[in-house]
Amino acid sequence: MGTLSANPDLIRIGNCSGFYGDRRSAMREMLEGGELDVLTGDYLAELTMLILGRDRMKDPSLGYAKTFVRQIEECLGLALERNVQIVANAGGLNPAGLAERLRKVAAELGLDAKIAHVEGDDLVGRAGELGLGQPLTANAYLGAWGIVECLNSGADIVVTGRVTDASVIVGPAAAHFGWGRSDYDELAGAVVAGHVIECSTQATGGNFAFFKELGDLGRPGFPIAEIRRDGSSVITKHDGTGGTVTVDTVEAQLMYEIQSARYAGPDVTTRLDSIQVSQEAPDRVLINGVVGEAPPPQLKVSLNTLGGFRNEMEFILTGLDIDAKAELAKRQLEAWLPVRPAELSWTLARVDRPDAETEEQASALLRCVVRDPDPNKVGREFSNVAVELALASYPGATFTSLPGNGSPYGVFTPGFVDANEVPHVAVLADGTRVDIAPATDTLELAPVAEPQLPASPAIGETTRAPLGSIVLARSGDKGGDANIGLWVRTDAQWEWLVNTLTVEKLKELLPETAPLEVTRHVLPNLRALNFIISGLLGKGVAYQARFDPQAKGLGEWLRSRHLDIPTELLP
């Protein structure tokens, strides 16, 4: 094996994982389902790095995605037979350990597979000298050129640690076409293709706002990017698989977890405001026109720290006087605690309704979350006291769970280091180590001036309706920040949306965001707006106990809010 596509002007790159825990059978489904040149997988979310860090604390030989090993055990022979190379970031905190484990798997299967890996991203041993504190994990986001080196050496499998999500797609494309470090438009086009397919079935109908249009979503197929020599691509999927690929399903993924119109990476900064998307044929969406710029001189670093211990108890409040019952429970619990934890917060979810036909519909939920560096202060000292209220507090007192000990939680923060400080090493199948130089042509990130907006349309008759009647959305997390990407389908809807949904209007519709810094970015080519809500998620998903800790439903909440929409724009 170890050879890329026979077509010099096209490479077919599929994806079989969007997170650690995605559909385990996807690797086999993708290998059996149709033609592929390369199969990729993304296993590393910010939270995953913390999970792997705790694995490594228990056993230094671990720190990688164990499910990937099982997938290779099941599919290595098939991949070799089909001449499909595999590139994945499943190495996590221990890509060398994963590569060695895969060599043992190949030997046990009696298969000759060349397995290479990329390392250098793990900075935890140098975190102090680099000004990154004393985290549990510290991993710089590497780019695609180590992967390129491994593929050019004939590797059948390349595993990496923390590279950017799109790099596992950019690397095979750059190797196949022989792109150079300054082929920015081509690299940026591959970044966009990679960004679309790296979250697996989110590009084929998963998590899609207008899901009712898709009919029976069933079991969506995983996406494929057919990348061309000029960096343009077609997003598609294997014939006969579930889900669908449309301009909107692709745009939904384009709007996921982005920030400004400049999408920075270690190899290229991609101009999201240059992207053109069009439907080429059923289940085939063309992406072209992408413009790239030199990357910034610094690399982002993912930092996870053990922040302490957390516990929670949730009270059920039923029937009348919900607010008064909640106040009584709060007052009693806080007074009865022998020692107050460092952090104690309450949330009352008024999911009850008056004159309810079921007890569940008559009930609200009161949750108390506590955090402290000392596990004892948030262990049984806390949860037992909560239970002691059962016969001494509001009428009908009960809980959703039993008392228990606290559990450790993590804190995510981003860091930045000069790219020259970060080693980037391709370790080939024969053990040869090749140092990958950082980018020499760099460009500091700068804000993109807001484009000229269309004139505000004349508003005639309006109808009070949910924003989601005409607006699609996708939201997600970036550390402690959240993003909401929104877009519409027609020029008339766009003229109304871009002039109506200001930062002030968003804060009015989503009161939780009112005290926070909110930034709006305009992407006219996509008829899209992207809002960054700074600090909504506190110190990251592993820290906070917000109802929706990764902001996955934030866009759907916004779509459900009612406002006056021009009647002619409604379906």
Q: Which of 269, 276, 223, 217 is nearest to 251 (CA)?
A: 276
* Whether residue 409 has pLDDT greater than 90: no
Of 509, 508, 491, nearest in space to 559 by CA: 509
Q: How confident is the model at residue 53 (pLDDT cuts 50, 70, 90)?
A: confident
Contact 77, 44 (CB under 8 A): no
Report d(CA 509, CA 471) in Å as an integer.
14
CA-CA distances (angstroms) from residue 448 to 87, 261, 293, 294?
Answer: 33, 7, 13, 15
Phi–psi pair at 454, nearest 5 degrees: -65, 155
Measured distance CA(111)–CA(107) in Å, rounded: 6
**Distances 100 to 4, 137, 146 between C-alpha atoms, Å:** 23, 22, 18
The enclosing H or E element of 150 equals: helix 145-152
Residue 456, judged by CB atoms within 10 A of its CB (0-12, 13-18, 19+), counts as exposed
For position 26, what pLDDT does the model report?
98
Per-residue pLDDT tens over the stretch 427-450? 999 999 999 999 999 999 999 988
- Retrieve residue 281's tokens: 């044929």
- For the chain, the structural domain boundaries read 10-302+414-435, 307-411, 462-569
Helix residue ranges, H only, 24-65: 26-33, 46-58
pLDDT at 5: 66
Owner of token pair 């298969």: 111
Task: List all residues 6 or more positions away from 125 whose beta carbon is below 8 Å from its beta carbon.
Answer: none
Residue 108 vs residues 25, 76, 113, 356, 485: alpha-carbon distances, Å: 21, 11, 12, 61, 47
The phi and psi torsions of 533 (rounded to 5 degrees) equal -110, 100
The neighbouring-strand residues paired with 14 are 39, 224
Q: Output phi, psi for 268, to 5 deg.
A: -160, 150
Residue 375 has pLDDT above 60, yes or no: yes
Q: Say yes or no to pLDDT of 227 above 60.
A: yes
Strand segments, DSSP code E, in 141-255 are 157-160, 223-228, 233-237
* Rounded average pLDDT over 500-520: 96
pLDDT in the model for residue 309: 93
469 vs 260 pLDDT, higher one: 469
pLDDT confidence bin for 479, thresholds 50/70/90: confident
Residue 3 has pLDDT above 70, yes or no: no
Those residues with Cβ within 8 angstroms of residue 245's Cβ, 6 or more apart along the chain or in another chain: 203, 204, 223, 235, 236, 237, 283, 284, 285
Position 4 confidence tier, pLDDT thresholds 50, 70, 90: low
Identify the residue with better confidence: 367 or 45: 367
Q: Which residue has the tokens 């041993």?
A: 125
Reading the block at residue 122, the tokens are 């793990």
* SS3 sequence of 389-446: CCCCCCCCCEECCCCCCCEEEEEEEEEEEEHHHCCCEEECCCCCEEECCCCCCCCCCC
Residue 371 in tokens: 């955090």
Who's near 493: CB < 8 A, 6+ residues apart? 470, 471, 527, 569
Alpha-carbon gap, residue 192 to 195, rounded angstroms: 5
pLDDT tens readout for residues 150-169 = 999 999 999 999 999 999 99
CATH 3.40.50 fits 307-411, yes or no: no
Q: Which residue has the tokens 């939270």?
A: 47
Model-level pTM greater than 0.75? yes
Q: Which of 237-251, 363-377, 397-411, 550-564 has the lowest mean pLDDT?
A: 397-411
| Average pLDDT of span 248-252 | 97
563: pLDDT strictly greater than 90: yes
Confidence of residue 183 (pLDDT cuts 50, 70, 90): very high
Q: Are 470 and 569 in contact (CB under 8 A)?
A: yes
> What sign does the dihedral 134-135-141-142 (CA atoms) show?
positive
Q: In the chain, pLDDT over 90 holds for what percent of residues? A: 86
- Is residue 483 a contact partner of residue 531, using CB atoms and an 8 Å limit? yes
Q: In sequence order, what are the residues at sequence separation of 6 or more whose Cβ sits closer than 8 angstroms to the Cβ of residue 354? A: none
pLDDT confidence tier of residue 190, bands split at 50, 70 and 90: very high
In this predicted structure, the answer to whether residue 382 has a pLDDT above a threshold of 90 is yes
Q: What is the DSSP string of 316-338?
A: EEESS-HHHHHHHHHHHHHHH-S
Q: Is the model's pLDDT at 1 over the cut of 70?
A: no
Which H or E run includes 558?
helix 554-560
